[in-house]
Amino acid sequence: MTIQVGDKIPEGMFTTMGAEGPTGISTAEIFDGKKVVLFAVPGAFTPTCSAAHLPGFVVHVDDIKAKGVDTVACMSVNDVFVMDAWGKGSNAEHIVMLADGNATFTEALGLVLDGTGFGMGTRSQRFAMVVDDGVVTLLNVDAGALEASSAEAILAAL
């Protein structure tokens, strides 16, 4: 079942790159007591994700935070090393890069994309959500092209 507005974020773990290397971070650490914009991409370094989705949030992260958002986070079903390299290469130092390497959290959200036809395996659908103290208050899932989950669309909704 797909997560809906009003639902609590499921418990889960991500991996981020810390000063000492890969480190786990829980959904509680990310979402509890905070207003968070979480956006997900089908894959780091893929064309739309690298040319438009992540760059839009890099450009607008300060504007989004000025609307009362504590954290802007990007999630992908990639390993932590790929997410770290992609974030560094995209000047995304103000965005938390979350690796959902085994798609465990993506599956818990019900937002899985079957990328096997493209040789990509299980991935995340392209989406963006606003989560306020662990509760989803906005969920925009793109059916095809990058539209509803863009930084501009989320900024306008805030």
Reported confidence tier of residue 118, pLDDT bands at 50, 70, 90:
confident
Residue 3 lies in a domain: no
Report the CATH number at residue 107: 3.40.30.10
Amino acid at 36: V
Residue 113: Cβ within 10 Å count: 20
Six-digit token pair at 49? 């994700």
Burial category of 108 from C-beta neighbours within 10 Å (exposed 0-12, middle 13-18, buried 19 and up): middle
Name the active-site residue from 36, 40, 41, 49: 49
Answer whether residue 7 is part of any domain: no
The mean pLDDT value for 59-75 works out to 98
Residue 100 near residue 75 (C-beta atoms within 8 A): yes
Q: Is residue 6 in a domain?
A: no
Write out pLDDT tens, residues 18-59. Answer: 999 999 999 999 999 999 999 999 999 988 888 889 999 999
Which helix (H) or strand (E) segment holds residue 31: the answer is helix 27-31
Domain hosting 114: range is: 13-157
Please compute the mean of the pLDDT values over residues 128-149 and round it to a whole number: 96
As a whole-number percent, the residues of the chain with pLDDT over 70 amount to 100
Whether 2 maps to a domain, the answer reads no
Domain assignment present for 1: no
Number of domains the chain is built from: 1
Say if 116 falls within a structural domain.
Answer: yes
Rounded-to-5 percentages of helix, strand, coil across the chain: 30, 30, 35
Q: How confident is the model at residue 144 (pLDDT cuts 50, 70, 90)?
A: confident
Active-site residue flag, 74:
no
* Overall pTM > 0.85: yes
